[in-house]
Amino acid sequence: MLDAMFFNRLRAAEAPSARRFEVRSPIDGHVVDTVADSGAAEASAALDRASAAFRVWRMRTAYERSGILKAWHALILEHEPLLAELMTVEMGKPVTESAGEVRYGAAFVEWYAEEAKRIAGETMQSQFPDKRLHAIRQPSGVVFAITPWNFPIAMVTRKIAPALAAGCVVIVKPAEQSPLSALALAALWREAGGPPDAFQVLTALDPKPLSGVLLDDFRVRVLTFTGSTQVGVELYARSARTMKRLALELGGHAPFLVFADADLDAAVREVMACKFRNGGQTCVSTNRIYVQESIATAFLERLTAQVAALRVGNPLDPSTQVGPLVDQAGVAKVTAHMRDAVVHGATVLTGGDLRSGLYYQPTVVTGIRPDMRMMREETFGPVAPVLTFATEDDALRMANGSPYGLAAYLWTSDLRRAYRVSEGLEFGIVGINDGVPSTAQAPFGGVKMSGIGREGGHWGIDEFLDIKYISVGLT
């Protein structure tokens, strides 16, 4: 139960600060709790503590680090119902999805508990008989992780489990809309025996003062960020001054191509899962559904019927499929995109309006043109724009005609087409007949304006390891 005792456990994981701010639930606007409002002074103090902690944590054996990560993983799973409820209350995701996210988030901790033990180097051949050449991999240092509100647990663990496994220490700045989930993770980390200063959480209403300190300090060696492309570009530029390593997971604008040879029911099912999970507030949710002309009418009939039947409501009710948007800014963006589309001639097949509060009706819209706002920017809401294409070449050209390159999807029964199209798509992630490909052991990340670096799988830990060449003379 989310009672006073539970919130007190979270307090233990907070950085001390004289100021506090309210966390309000998008369900009905009630105040869930207050959290520390950290600024520049708190960031400096946290960095001093992190730097000291790094000297100790990096010296623990990979087996010791792995053991603590495993204990943390077990505690996260043990707290699944509580963490799911907390996440739903603070950011509005349907509680069944929140429970799924707790398991998804825990899977990164489990994966990197195992990867910690597989960090390895190389020995090269030398042209000299009296030399030995080695490359070893060592933790990079203090990591600054800026995490988004849309996956308040999984985006923290996907970033910091590999960092901690590698021997780095982390300061996390969670989004102001959902700081409590990050604090819960930090509390469980401590309860699992993790050193408190190896994983610190700095909550803030205005992230700029604290971020400025951490971005400009040379002791922070890695910046890992998930958020908008606009902010990512600013962080990229600012990090150059101290030559930080960067992993940037930025905006997406995912196309979903449905070919005439697709199994239509399966394609609609997967478009629904891809588009409407987390109410469409997902970087890898499709923003542009392209359907081959000959099946467009049948596809739209089925999609519209299923979207109209989605259960919108209180996300704490396990039967709810779409909850509220996260905040007023989210509603304003969805509303503006829809208004722009309708003014420019789009047709709404279902939905198309705000229901009440932060609850937006799941929407299907056609008659979309490439210059509409929703074709150029992420809508980040439950809106499915459907367009048509004539040939495979057209589909590829339309899909690739975007500066973003995070995720793309296609549905076809033709194996040769599946390979041809997936290899031609300029995206970091491709789902062939799969609308929800994300998983802990696979690489997650984009190309073009969708970012640099990879999270997940064995790739994810590389972002936190430096390579050191050691040459040994034996004369």
Catalytic residue set: 249, 283
Token pair listed for 169: 């220490």
Closest contact distance (angstroms) between CB of 366 and ligand SIN is 25
For ligand SIN, the closer of residues 25 and 150 by Cβ is 150
For ligand SIN, the closer of residues 140 and 150 by Cβ is 150
The answer to whether 373 and 336 have CB atoms below 8 angstroms apart is yes
Residue 60 to residue 290: CA distance in whole angstroms: 51
For ligand SIN, the closer of residues 121 and 403 by Cβ is 403
Helix (H) or strand (E) holding 3: none
Q: What angle (nearest 5°) sits at the alpha carbon of residue 104, between those of residues 103 and 105?
A: 90
- 61-75 burial, b at 16+ Cβ within 10 Å, e below that, comes to ebeebbbbbbbbbeb
Residue 142 to residue 176: CA distance in whole angstroms: 22
Backbone angles phi, psi at 468, to 5 degrees: -120, 130
**Which residue is it, tokens 């031609």?**
424
Q: Which of residues 281-300 bind ligand SIN (CB under 6 A)?
A: 282-284
Q: Single out the residue of 319, 368, 375 nearest to residue 345, CA to CA.
A: 368
Closest contact distance (angstroms) between CB of 456 and ligand SIN is 8
Residue 92 to residue 445: CA distance in whole angstroms: 25
For ligand SIN, the closer of residues 80 and 394 by Cβ is 80
Rounded to 10°, the helix 40-57/208-216 angle is 40
- Residue among 108, 144, 151, 359 that touches ligand SIN (CB under 6 A): 151
Closest contact distance (angstroms) between CB of 475 and ligand SIN is 53
Kindly give the pairing relationship between strand 383-389 and strand 286-292: parallel
The answer to whether 243 and 250 have CB atoms below 8 angstroms apart is no
Site track 323-362 with ligand SIN (rule: CB under 6 A), x = hit: ----------------------------------------
The window from 263-271, 280-288, 320-328, 364-372 that contacts ligand SIN (CB under 6 A) reads 280-288
Closest contact distance (angstroms) between CB of 418 and ligand SIN is 21
For ligand SIN, the closer of residues 57 and 444 by Cβ is 444
Q: Which of residues 219-278 bind ligand SIN (CB under 6 A)?
A: 226, 249
Q: Could you tell me how many residues of this chain bind ligand SIN (CB under 6 A)?
A: 9
Residue 323 to residue 361: CA distance in whole angstroms: 10
- The number of beta carbons lying within 10 Å of the beta carbon of residue 125 is 7
Closest contact distance (angstroms) between CB of 27 and ligand SIN is 21
Q: Does 13 bind ligand SIN (CB under 6 A)?
A: no
**Which residue is it, tokens 């890992």?**
224
Backbone angles phi, psi at 411, to 5 degrees: -125, 120
For ligand SIN, the closer of residues 15 and 84 by Cβ is 84
Q: Any bridge partners for residue 386, and if so which?
A: 289
Question: Which residue is closest to ligand SIN by CB?
Answer: 438
For ligand SIN, the closer of residues 357 and 443 by Cβ is 443
Q: Does 177 bind ligand SIN (CB under 6 A)?
A: no
Q: Which of residues 422-441 bind ligand SIN (CB under 6 A)?
A: 438
Residue 304 to residue 301: CA distance in whole angstroms: 5
Closest contact distance (angstroms) between CB of 15 and ligand SIN is 25
Token pair listed for 318: 């396990």
Site track 183-222 with ligand SIN (rule: CB under 6 A), x = hit: ----------------------------------------
Closest contact distance (angstroms) between CB of 282 and ligand SIN is 4
Instruction: Give residue 416's identity as a one-letter amino acid code.
Output: R
The window from 52-60, 126-134, 148-156, 217-225 that contacts ligand SIN (CB under 6 A) reads 148-156
For ligand SIN, the closer of residues 197 and 249 by Cβ is 249
Q: Does 150 bind ligand SIN (CB under 6 A)?
A: yes
Residue 392, CA distances (Å) to 333, 408, 409, 417 in order: 32, 15, 14, 9
The window from 55-63, 202-210, 279-287, 308-316 that contacts ligand SIN (CB under 6 A) reads 279-287
Closest contact distance (angstroms) between CB of 226 and ligand SIN is 5
Token pair listed for 289: 């559904």
Binding site for ligand SIN (CB under 6 A): 150-151, 154, 226, 249, 282-284, 438
